[in-house]
Amino acid sequence: MRIPFTKMHGLGNDFVVLDGRNGSLPAMSPPVAKALADRKTGIGCDQLIMLEPSDAADFRMRIFNADGGEVEACGNASRAVALLHGQPARVETSGGVIALEPLDGGARVDMGTPRFGWEDIPLAYAMDTASMPVSWESLENPAAVNVGNPHVIFFVEDPYAVELDRLGPLIETDPLFPARVNVNVASIADGAITLRVWERGVGLTRACGTGACATAVAAIAHKGVTSPVTVHLPGGDLEIAWEQGGTILMTGPATTSFTGSFEWSDFAGDAT
């Protein structure tokens, strides 16, 4: 069975998008998603995105990280899907229903309402999520926010001085986070945020849309930052707007890289 795909990216965070909104795609599994995401033997991507029919919205978006694990939300992929769809839409995700609006060269996404309760992150036990009484070496007292998926945010002097490639996986898999966690290190200067992200199931990425949302929310809620705020990521900039009690609006670019197709049995047969 030949399957068409679209390769897309948002600020260098790249995706393979499979469009099955007509119900035509075979069932996805973590091994097949991992095989397709492999950059040496597959198509290669940070996330595999599947579009499917939905009874709750215009269509459903499923998100598989490069390790094959299915996750709840992806901000950059949401902008890419908005560009692919070409008109405003409500989209069902495992993290809730979001709203997409394509713009010239990108999209605006309503990511929904952030959650701050320790059980919503989730954490293994109750604690203050505005300034968690925990540390990993020099990284201490993070904030925690769920924006459809779980994030911890460390505000530091220089995000690029942090050994995030070493500390990120330690924090991601700490027993404190039963669903694992995305790890953000950020600094604030001149009303803007500089951010690096260790993404759960992916690793260091050039951009993470939900990380930008979670970090902006934490900065606005706890650090006196004014909305909207520009978030500088290694791959480029996003604008995040959020008011207390409201939903998060993320605006930024998305790009189609190329299209192609693959034989399903080449990946489904040997995926382990």
pLDDT in tens, 184-221: 999 999 999 999 999 999 999 999 999 999 999 999 99
Using alpha carbons, select from 183, 176, 179 the residue that is nearest to residue 125.
176
Q: How far apart are CA 193 and CA 195, in angstroms?
A: 6
Is residue 100's pLDDT more than 90? Answer: yes
- How many Cβ atoms sit within 10 Å of the Cβ of residue 4? 12
Question: Residue 23's pLDDT is what?
Answer: 87
The residue from 121, 147, 208, 268 that is catalytic is 208
The residue from 11, 51, 71, 74 that is catalytic is 74
Question: Residue 269's pLDDT is what?
Answer: 72
The angle subtended at Cα 172 by Cα 70 and Cα 144, nearest 5°, is 95
Find the mean pLDDT for residues 7-35: 95
CA distances from 209 to 77, 199, 223 (A): 8, 10, 20
Q: How far apart are CA 134 and CA 181, in angstroms?
A: 14
Relative to beta strand 59-65, strand 150-155 is: unpaired
pTM equals 0.91
74 has catalytic annotation: yes
Is residue 181's pLDDT more than 70? Answer: yes
Q: How far apart are CA 95 and CA 101, in angstroms?
A: 18
Q: How far apart are CA 206 and CA 79, in angstroms?
A: 15
- DSSP one-letter code for 26: P
Residues 165-204: b if buried by 16+ CB within 10 A, e if exposed? eebbeebbebebbeebbbbbbbbbeeeebbbbbbbbbbbe
Where does the pLDDT of residue 27 fall: very low under 50, low under 70, confident under 90, or very high at 90 and above?
A: very high
Mean residue pLDDT across the chain:
96
Is residue 271's pLDDT more than 60? Answer: no
Cβ–Cβ < 8 Å for 13, 208: yes
Percent of the chain clearing pLDDT 90 (strictly above)? 96
Where does the pLDDT of residue 272 fall: very low under 50, low under 70, confident under 90, or very high at 90 and above?
A: very low
Q: How far apart are CA 123 and CA 13, in angstroms?
A: 27
Question: Residue 270's pLDDT is what?
Answer: 55
